[in-house]
Amino acid sequence: MKHPARWTALLVAAMIVGLGVVLAVQVGDDPRSDATTSQLVGKAAPEFSLRTLDGIPVTTDTLLGKVVIINFWNSWCIPCRVELPALKEFYDRHRDDPSVALVGIVRDDSTKVIKSYANAEGIDWIIAIDPNSQTALAFGTRGQPETFAVDANGLITGAQIGPVTLRDLELLLESAQGR
């Protein structure tokens, strides 16, 4: 090699140009695109063991065999209030179907406040309290509201981050029913 320093400089320059090209190509990709969708769709729902407002156990096992819509929420979250009418209508449509369950899991709120809120709003579906938000964490939630559809075998078939509409809920139900 006649001019090693020159070759080294050329190599370093080529690498810098290469890096520039790679960065330019990648610039359109959002590195946090995985933050807008649940990573758990297609995987088994995390196991949980919670209690309702009346102290009745709600566990993965008690819900097995049913199609379950799980909605993470709390009383002070405005988007949760926005989606409440849709949840009410969805529940009214399916409350007599024994193969379908709607479970609201409350994170970061007090049982007393939730009891009073549920009574005032006429919420009749299963409401379970998630102490320390450990179940919310197991589901990989990023806040509330977040809604998951779980099929009869305990597999997560769909998820939505943010408030749901009645149509969203029906689509989630259909995904869990395999339709």
Partner 1 sequence: MTSRRVLPWLGLIAVFLIVIVWASWPSGDRQTVNEQAHELASEIRCPDCEGLNVADSFTTSARAIRKDLLRRLKAGESESEIKSSYADRYGESILLNPDSSGLGILVWGLPIVVLIFGGAGIAFTILRRSKTPRLTPTDDDRSEVDRARDQ
* Footprint on this chain of partner 1 (rule: CB under 8 A): 4-5, 8-9, 11-12, 15-16, 19, 22, 26, 31-35, 39-40, 107-108, 132-134, 136-143
The least CB distance from residue 155 to partner 1, in Å, is 15
- Least Cα distance to 61 among 175, 150, 174, 177 occurs for 150
Query: CA 55, CA 72: separation in Å to the nearest integer?
Result: 18
Query: CA 50, CA 161: separation in Å to the nearest integer?
Result: 22
Name the residue nearer to partner 1 (CB basis): 75 or 173: 75
Tokens 């909605």 locate to 71
Name the residue nearer to partner 1 (CB basis): 56 or 137: 137
| Interaxial angle between packed helices 78-94 and 166-177, expressed in degrees from 0 to 180 and rounded to the nearest 10 | 60
The least CB distance from residue 35 to partner 1, in Å, is 6
Which helix H or strand E contains 156, and what residues bound it? strand 156-161
Name the residue nearer to partner 1 (CB basis): 33 or 122: 33
The least CB distance from residue 170 to partner 1, in Å, is 26
